[in-house]
Each structure stands twice: as structure tokens, then as C-alpha cells.
Amino acid sequence: MPTMFRVGRLLLFAGSILLPSSPITFREVPPSESKITWVHENGHSDKRYLPETIGPGVAIFDYNNDGWMDILFVNSGESAFFHPRTALRSALYRNNRDGTFADVTEKAGLRGNLFGMGAAIGDYDGDGFQDIFLTGYGKSMLYRSKGDGTFEEVTESGISPPGWSTSAVWFDYNNDGRLDLFVCQFVDYSSLRSCGLANSYGGKIEGIPEAGTYYCIPRIFAPMPSHLYRNDGNGHFIDVSKETGILDSAGKGFGVVATDINQDGYLDLFQANDTVANFLFVNSEGKKFEEIGLASGVGYSDDGVTRSGMGVDAADFDEDGWQDLFVANVDQETFSFYHNSKDEIFTDLSKSHGIADPTRLLSGWGVRFFDYDNDGFADLILANGHPDDLVERRMRGVTYKEPLLLFHNQGDGKMANVSSLAGAAFQENYAARGLAVGDLNNDGYPDVVVGINGGAPLVLLNNLSNKNNWLGLKLVSTIGNPAAVGALIKWSAGGQVHSRLKTAGGSFLSSHDPREILGLGTGGKVDWLEIRWPKPSTRVDRFTDLPANKYLTIKEEMGIL
Amino acid sequence: MLFHLVLLILALSSAQQPVSLDPLVRQSQEAIQAGRYSEAREKLRQALKHDPRNPVLWSYLGLADTQLNDVDAGITDFQKALLFAPQDAQTHFNLGLLYRRKGHSQKALEMYQRGLGLDPKDAAANQNYALLLMETGKFREAIPFLQKLRALGVTDLSVSVALIESYLKAGMNEEGKREIQSLLQSPTVSSMDQLKLAKVLVEDKQPEAAQLVLEHAVRISPESAEAHAQLGQLLANKDQYEDAAREMGQAVHFSPEVADYSMKLAEILILWKHYPSALEFLAATKNRFGELAEYQYKLGLAYFGLHQVPQAIAVFENLTQTHPEVDLVHFFLGNCYQTTGDFEKAEPHYKRAIELNPQKASYYAALAQMLRKQSKDRTEEATTYLERALLLDPQDVQSKLELALCHEKRLNYPKAQSLLEEVVQQQPDLIASHVALARVYFRLKKKEEGNRERSIIAQLEAEQQARKSQPEKPPEFPIR
């Protein structure tokens, strides 16, 4: 059997496009079944204020530590340009463990009113309970979990990003074992400008009547620097944007992921910017960040032009041991699939690896590398939708609502578009924005939740029945940061070795299930598992004789709990 | 001119020949009149053996040799004639003519100058001298001779045109305009003449003067479709599309059956980027012109301009069937397929366009860009095409940039650097070239140079940002 398996693997590598062995289905769970009745209010107006078209973000996390993933949806609210008649709120849904969810927002104390964008989840105070940072236009909010299913707003945290914040990520930049916070700033939108056709996303096409206003293309607004806040360990944060060099780079940040691109044990940041060059902040020993987007090849397209970077993610998609990067752009730009060529240089393999053509007419937001079929290789999912709700007036072939995309990793980093096999939800079009991946029913197959602008969210349960085995891990650092961000996980199943870096952030305005699901393929079981804990730890733990199809909690220094 | 010469010679000869040469001279005259120039030459050579100092015989011989296309011999003959009759203006003029034919402009000018000193009223000589002066760029000097032609009663339109051109090229714009006005007001100049004048002025690269003429023409003949059309075309060449569309629209209005006007209007609308209007117009004229290749081509361009690429492809594909030899169609079809990412389909069309018109640098550049984007393995091929493009147009910035990107992709950074440094010199505000150059510097570990380029990029982007954040001006005219 193992011999035949190896031959099968060889055939996989040698062949052209291969479809997964059995049909895959993501089943959409309707509100009537999930009991998730929340709907995003985008505050749409005739003035078309730009923030209206950007949200919402989604977070999948276990707010009450019962071992089941809950869901947070971020809503818009009171702002300088939007005054809802009734107070709007974000929504926290507790997982009832039976396929339904209960709205516990009020009970949890999440009453904040802001024109929300996204959510970043992290246990910043190390008490074992996840805290929430909400970004928004003109305001952001930090909620600390009290450990009893409720949250308190922390008003004097020191975290005060000005203006319009979008995606954020909790990660430990200086390896002191505490989660710090990086917050993307978008543009200077203090003018609250509305735009005509000439400054719209699609631009002016002579002869098209200029009825009303259009969402402005971000190109016309000034860029803003993002912010980095250092966790002082006492519940307070210090703005270290200037001293770390983050403030030197003004961008239009939409998405950010923390990952280690040069294997030095310090987490770097990849920030997607809309209409300005993307930033790759390389962490220099936890003291400073050097921005090398241009030099590394991820800042601009190959042709030397900026694109509209939105959602991002990082993963080692070709399993060469180096973290690769992904950026979703807007229509006509194709999305970027950056292969890490080492030496802090990246090459866009979008065309050769199957990404460019399916994404040519799409605008991507939420994105995640994840192994949906547990074959051990990182697949890819994308949530798409054009930012301009009037785009169809001007352009054939580009629509406001767009389909989701699912790509299957062929085992060598090349991606096959398997959307047509992914289920009915993939044949529909949405104004999709945020996307979070998490195992909602603890069956080991990652599910997906998508935020829809101005609509009800999409809950997609992974119904795959290929029966690839898996192993779920909840990692708890004791020396390094509590989320174990930066941990390097290696495992072997059936003789096939995989590795995965535990990154943080990614997607768009969203936060994922913090657990790691390791696909074992048809190998059946884990030959061995190795965890290299994040710095400042130097510990490497190795495990054998592990069960399959189970979640394990592994705590640094203590082993499997 | 030469016929004039012949008559003159005949007239002279009858008075001057000695009795013994008469038969030879008479025979040579007859031969010349009959166009038997070889025979005439023979006779004249024989006659000259007996009377070698006869300027008339030398002139005759010059005529015969010239007619036999032996210009060098003709010059020698007329030089001899001049030797023996140095005050003969016509001989000077003849030499001037022949020197001009040989490209010896200075000598030609001298001859005419001397000849006109002897006979200032020779209209043809004045005209030729003026034209010669114009040919050698001496427009100001030509003016008095052109004016003299007028005084001599030569009122041909071509004289007026030459005078206008000379005024304008000599920088005497007011005089030029006055001449134009005067011409336009002349009752003898028909609107057809005006249009001819305008055409000449356009060909002569005097668009401002041509515009004056045409604007006058449409004023006095507001229903002249041709006048509106010419004016429309001229305005389109100056990128004044709104006015061009108006004028060409008038041409179409007055002569809707003329395909040329309608196609030109469609083209103007497309160049103006008023694609919906172009489509609307083409739809309205479909019954009349829908079968024309030109119509289909414009339709394809309008669709492409509106990003309606599948429709554009359908039109261009059809055109390649009915008119497979039109290079532009293949080129645009290649562009359409490249836009959709279908490089496999784009490639043969680009190659066909090149095959049909190998002199178009832009075809090679477009194909090369597609190949580079398609795969690293094809960058060598792309490089070959770009090198050809640069042979055709060595200064083309886009081809150089594209070639540099190919070198970069093949990790040939020194070559990429060298080309990019040229490009940023040629076009310092092209951000993409600075980006590529910065990348290459960083790859070569030239950090200082890379950071210098980063600063330039930041500056250019800030300027671009400032331009784009200006509040919108409301449209100055209704779009529909």
C-alpha cells in the first residue's frame, strides 16, 4: 500500500491539471438552519461615501473557550457621514454545537457603536481568553475578554489609530512573548469626498451619462502610514510606529499578514495597499522594520505599475520551506501569486500557476490559504466583488457581484480552479468582502464564513467526503506569544513530509480559527509531528504515535494536554 | 519648358546659319521637330565640325542630348553655347534647368540669377528660380520672384500657394495670412481651388494656413460636404476631436452616402474615446455601410474601447475571414485576446500582423510583451522581437522598457540596467521605468542607486497624487 501510494504521488507531480479525487462540496447553511440572522448594514447612500463599500470583516474564534468556534460579524454604525435611525451593532454568535448559533452580542457586552471595518482576535493579556480589536472609520475599539463570556471595552489602552483603520493583526514583533498589534491605515478620507465618473473606479468613459455619484477610486486620496503598538505587558500599548520605521511608509493599507519570509525567527509584515505599492516590512531583530516592497518584487507588478492590493495571505504553497505571498487585486489586474525565491526576492507566478486567468475580471478581498481537502497541501479560497456598485453601467464582463473562487493545490504549488465543483454557493455572485476560515463543526474539515457588503453573511460548511485524515492542533506557547504565532509545524504522514508556519492575520478585515488542521492525505496517520516554538523560545518538540481525526492541545513545555 | 526652348532655337536658327550648313541644320531641325533626337544629334555633330563656334548649334545639340537623357552631355553643350553667346538669357535658363536636374542646386541658382539679369521678365524662369529658392530653403528670397510672376500676369493658383508657403516659412505670418485672405476673396478662385489649396498646405505641413482656408471655405459654402470633411480631418490631426467631430458630422449630414465621411467620423469618435457615441453612429449607418471592411474595423475598435472584448473579438475574427490581409485587424485581434489573457490565440494574430507589415515596431513590441507575460521560457523569443522593433525605431521608449523587463526576467541585470538608464533619461517621468531600474539596482546589490530611484519614484508618485486629487471640473459640454 505505501509503495502504491508513492507511485500515486509521482503521477501527481508529473501530470497536468488533476481534479480532486472526489467531488467537493461547500454547503451553504441558510439562516433558517444556522439561526444567524444578522445582516450587514453598509450605510449606502446616494453620496456613495467610500467606507460604505468596504466592509464587513468576519472573525472565527472561540470566545468562551468551550472548544467550539464562534463567529463575530462587524457592522457599520454611527459616523461623520452615516447616522442610522436605530443603533447598529456588530454581532457575536455563539456556537451551539449543533449547527446553530445564538446571538450573544448584548450578553457579551459588545455594544460599541462605530462604522466598523474588521476584527483582529488575539489574547493580548495572556489570560487564555481571546480579546477583540475592532477597526473602523474614525474610531477603533479594543475589547478585553473577562473570561466569563463577556467583554469590557478598554478605552485607555494606548491604541488609537487615527482616521480610517482596516485590517489589523496580533503578532509578537519583538519576540518578548507578548502579542503586539499592527493596524493598517487606509487613506486620508477626512474630506468625505464623493466622486463623479472621472474619479470612479471604472473611470470616465465619454458618452456615459453621469447620473449621480460614484465610489471614488482610492488613487485620488493621500496615503497614510499604518501603526504598530507594542504590548507593554500591563494591559497597555505603546505606539512604536516611529521608532520601528513603520511610520516612514505611507500607504493605503487594506490587508496585512504576519509571516517570516526570511526564516530569521522574526515575524515580518506584508501589507497590501490599494493603488500604491505594497509594503513588505522586514523585521530586523525586533527593533526596526525595513520596507522592501519595491526591492523584493512584491511592491509593483512586473510591468512596474501599482495595483489595487486588497486581501493578502502567506503560506508555503510549493512546500520548499519558504513563505510565499498572495495579494488579491481588482479587475483587469489579475491577482498576485508571489513565490519566495529566497534572499528576500519574490517572483509573481500568477500566470504559470493558474491564478491569473480566473482572476482577470475579478476584484478580490477575503483570501485564505487552507487545506480544504486535508491532502496536506495549501489550497486557496477567494471572496470577490467589485467595489463599484455602478460598474456594470460602464464595463461589460465586469460585474458588481462576483463569484467565490476555490483553487486546489496540485501538490507543486500550481493551482487548479475547482470552483465549479465546490458547491452551489460557488455558482452564485456576491458582494463579498471579509472571509474567515475555521472548523465550525469540529469535523476537521475547515469551513468558511464570508461577509457580504450590505447583505447576510455566507456560512459554508465543508462537506467533503473524501475521508482524508487530519490532525487538529491548538498550540499554546508559554515562552513565546500565547497564540504561538511564528511556530513552525512539521509533520509526516505516509512518508510525505509537510511543514507550515503559523502565521497571523491575512485575508481582509478578518480573523481565522487559530487552530491548525494538518491534512494527512490518504496516509492515514501521523508518522511524526514537530513543533518549533516561536522565539524567544528555542524549544523544539517532537511527537509520535499521534491519533488521527482529533484535535489536540499542545502546550509548550508540557506537551499534549 | 523644353518645347519653349525648341521654338526659340528654331526661330534663331533660321536667321543665323551659313548657306553651306543649311541642309544639315534643316535636317536636324526636322528631326528634332519629329522627335528623332538621335538622328538630330548626328546631324548636329556633323554641322558643328564645320562650325564649332556656333552657339545655336550647340544649343540644338544640348536639346537633343537632354531629350536623350544624357544630361551631362546636355550641360556641356549648353556651356559651349554660353561660351559663344554669353548674353543669351535662355541658355542660362537651360543650364539652370539641367543643373537642377543633376541636383547641383547652387549652380542652378547661379544660372537663373545670371539669366534673369539678362531677361528679368521671363515668367517661366522667374517661376523656376523661385521654386529653386524654395527648394533650397531660401523662402524669403523667393518671395520677390513670386510676386514678379503676378506682375507678369501669371495668376495660377500654384503661384499663390507658393507665395503663401514662402511667407509662412519665412516667418512672415501676417503677410501669409493676408495672402490667404486675398486669395480666398478672389472671385476667380473657386471653392474647389480653395480645397486644393488646403490640401497642398496640409501636405506642405502648414496646418494653420490650411485651417484658415478651410474655415473660409465652409463659411462661404456651408453645404460643402468636402470642405467640412477636410476641415474635420485637419482638426482631428491636431487632436481637436470635438471640433473635428462637429465638422465631419456636417460632412456626413450633407453627404450621407459618402462612406469616407462616415468612416472618418466614426474614427474621430473613437480617437476621442467617445466609444458609446461611435457605436451609436455605427449602428445608425449599418444598413448603408455595414458590409464595408472599414466599418467592421471601426466597430471592432469601438467595442474594444468600451471593454466589450468578446464583441470586439467577434467582429475582428469575422474581418480576418473576409479580409485576411489587413495587418491592423490582426494586431487588434491580438490585443483583444491578450486583454482576455488568451495568449495562445493572441500570438498567431500578432505574428500575422508582423508578416503583413514587418515595418511596424508596435507589432513586435505588443507580441514581445505578451510572450514575456506568458512565461519566463519565452522571454528569449520576446527579446528577438524587441530587437527588431528597435531596429525599426531605435528611440522607442516602450520597446526599450519591454526589452529591459525581458532581460530582468532572464536575470540579465546588467543589460536591463543599461537599457533602463537610457529610458529614464529619455522619459524621466515614466514611473514604471524607474521602478524596474530600482529593482534591477537592488538585484545587483547597488543599494545606493536603488534608493536614489526610490526617492525619484516617491517624488513622481507624490506629483501624480497631487494631480489626481484635484476636484473634478464639471463637464463643459453635454456628453449626449
What would the pLDDT profile of B342-370 be if each residue is shown by its tens digit? 899 999 999 999 999 999 999 999 999 99
**Percent of chain B with pLDDT strictly greater than 70:** 93
In this complex, the residue of A195, A297, A304 whose CB is nearest that of residue B433 is A304
Residue A152 · residue A144 · CB < 8 Å: yes
B14 pLDDT above the threshold of 50: no
Q: What angle do CA A387, A393, A396 make, to 5 degrees?
A: 90
Across A305-323, average pLDDT: 96
pLDDT at A393 over 80: no
CB contact under 8 A, A351 and B374: yes
Q: Is B82 helix (H, G, I), strand (E, B) or coil?
A: helix
Whether residues B311 and A396 touch (CB distance < 8 A) is answered with yes
User: CA nearest A394: which of B314, B336, B307?
Assistant: B307
C-alpha distances in Å from residue A92, one per residue of A107, A110, A123: 9, 8, 17
Predicted local confidence at residue A197, as pLDDT: 77
Residue B133 CA, chain-centre distance (Å), reads 21
pLDDT of residue A93 exceeding 90, the answer is yes
| Residue in A76, A84, A94, A99 with CA at minimum distance from that of residue A30 | A99
The amino acid present at A93, given as its one-letter code, is Y
Which pLDDT value is given to residue A23? Answer: 63
What Å distances lie between residue B166 and A427, B1, B144, B159, B300, CA to CA?
Answer: 72, 23, 10, 10, 44
Residue A192 forms contact with B (CB below 8 Å): no
What integer is the mean pLDDT of A417-444? 96
∠ at Cα A255 (A388, A36), nearest 5°? 70
* A397:B307 CB<8 A: yes
Asked if A206 lies within 8 A of B438 by C-beta distance, the reply is: no
Q: What is the largest CA-CA distance in chain B?
A: 98
Collect all residues of chain A within an 8 Å Cβ-Cβ radius of residue B338: none
Give the separation between CA A168 and CA A180, rounded to whole angstroms.
10
Tell whether A479 lies on the interface with B, counting CB pairs under 8 A. Answer: no
How distant is the Cα of A357 from the closest Cα of chain B, in angstroms?
6
Mean local confidence (pLDDT), A418-438: 96
Spatial CB neighbours of B381, under 8 Å, sequence gap ≥ 6:
B371
Q: B479 vs A206: CB contact, 8 Å cut-off?
A: yes
Residues 6+ apart with CB under 8 A from A267: A171, A172, A173, A258, A259, A260, A283, A485, A486, A504
Q: What is the pLDDT of residue B177?
A: 85
As a whole number, mean pLDDT of residues A484-505 equals 96
Three cell numbers written together for A46: 446616494
User: Is B318:B349 a contact under the CB 8 Å cutoff?
Assistant: no
Q: Are strands A432-438 and A415-417 parallel, antiparallel or unpaired?
A: unpaired
Query: Looking at the predicted structure, is the pLDDT value of residue B141 above 90?
Result: yes
Which pLDDT value is given to residue A396? Answer: 66
Please write the tens of the pLDDT for every residue from B22-48: 788 888 888 988 999 999 999 999 999
Q: Rounded distance, CA B101 to CA B433, Å?
A: 50
Is the CB of A196 inside 8 Å of chain B's CB atoms?
A: yes
Q: Is the pLDDT of residue B474 over 50?
A: no
Summarize pLDDT for B286-333 with one digit per residue, the tens: 999 999 999 999 999 999 988 888 899 999 999 999 999 999 999 999
- Whose cell is 474614525? That residue is A138
Give the per-residue pLDDT at A207. 61
User: B450 and A295: CB-CB below 8 Å?
Assistant: yes
pLDDT at A2 > cutoff 50: no
The ipTM (two decimal places) reads 0.89
Beta carbons of A144 and A122 less than 8 angstroms apart? no
Q: Which three cell numbers stand for residue A67?
A: 472548544
Grid coordinates representing A534 are 516561536
Q: Identify which of A179, A84, A66 has the alpha carbon closest to the alpha carbon of residue A132.
A: A179
- Is there a contact between A219 and B468 if contact means CB atoms under 8 Å apart? yes
Q: How far is B400 from chain A (nearest CA, A)?
A: 13
A451 inside 8 A of chain B by CB = no
Q: Provide the β-strand partners of residue A457.
A: none
Q: Which of A195, A200, A302 to mutate to test the interface with B (most CBs of B within 10 A)?
A: A302
Q: Is A7 on the interface with B (CB under 8 A)?
A: no
Average pLDDT over residues A422-442: 97
Q: What is the pTM of this model?
A: 0.80
pLDDT beyond 80 at B2: no
% of chain A beyond a pLDDT of 70: 93
Cβ within 8 Å, pair B442-A295: yes
